[in-house]
Structure 1
Amino acid sequence: MKRIELEEFTNKLALDMGLEIIELAKLRNQHIAIEINRLNHTVFLFVDDTLSADKHNWLRRKANVAMLFEESSLNVKTDLEDGNMSLEDTFALEGKQYVAKGGSIPIFVHNAGMVGTITVSGLKDVEDHQIIIDALTGKYI
């Protein structure tokens, strides 16, 4: 999935989505960090007690990629690998600010454009991406 498209996106919806993802992680005995941004403001943030403090940086760097390219960070990673490119060499983006690893998906509102991101870190990057999809499919997307 390249992006999530909704009819509306509110802070309450971000809370509900974040809690759904955390609940699924608990059921799977997975330890994650999650951040949901709306209009460039953090509206939901959770970091499991077992994770290191650097997860904030991973969340931010993945979300920066999703925001810049307006598609999931996993899609960007795949596109870069397929084209034998890198964020630094091809786009002059610093690794301290951007990372092409799965786990961040941009949120679009129909007829409005991109309004936020939902980002997970703590698992393998493909699993970070997939837990978002698994938790939200059927109820929100």
Structure 2
Amino acid sequence: MIREILLDSFDNSIALDMGLKVISQARAEHKSIAVSIDRLNHNVFKFVADGLPEDKHDWLRRKANVAIRFEESSIGVKEDLINGNMSLTGTFGLDEKDYVAKGGAIPLKVRGAGLIGVITVSGLSDTEDHELIVSALSEYL
């Protein structure tokens, strides 16, 4: 399972390329998604397909918060919580209004610099959200 995307460098042009690749793959598979790419201090790419509910913005934010907080994919955190019989609230004191351990967010790291951001997808099952990122961005893995 992919728990992070390790890059040689990252800038807004790379974020644009990543976001467009994810959207292109989703469209080719006739899937409606929302995708967001964030640096640690601001959003650099966001797209929400027509017809998705307004709460997709919140799902993107909450999944991204998990990937940033634990510095690993949100689906990896979900599996770790299940395997360790833990919870975000009970074990880590995190508010579920701001964090959700569902697949679809993968941290972006730069060699020699560490965590610099996160890519997040929502709209499918959490496993499909994660797999869409991995499949669309295979050249970065």
Shorter-chain TM-score range = over 0.9
State the distance in 2 between where 1:41 and 1:60 align. 12
Q: Which runs of 5+ in 2 are unaligned?
A: none
For each residue in 1:104-141, what CA deviation from the matched residue of structure 2 results, as whole angstroms up to 9, or x when unmatched?
0000000000000000000000000000000010x222
8 Å CA contact 1:20, 1:135 repeated in 2:
yes
- Give the aligned length: 140
Instruction: Give 1:1-141 correspondences, 5 Å limit.
Output: 1-137=2-138, 139-141=139-141
Question: Would you identify which runs of 4 or more consecutive aligned residues in structure 1 move more than 3 Å?
Answer: none
Q: Which runs of 5+ in 1 are unaligned?
A: none
The answer to which of 76-85 and 35-44 deviates more is 35-44
8 Å CA contact 2:5, 2:140 repeated in 1:
no
What secondary structure, in the 3-state scheme, does the structure 2 residue paired with 1:44 have? strand
- For the aligned residue pairs, the C-alpha RMSD in angstroms reads 0.6
8 Å CA contact 1:11, 1:38 repeated in 2:
no
* Identity between Structure 1 and Structure 2 (%): 58
TM norm structure 1? 0.98
8 Å CA contact 2:6, 2:140 repeated in 1:
no
TM norm structure 2? 0.98
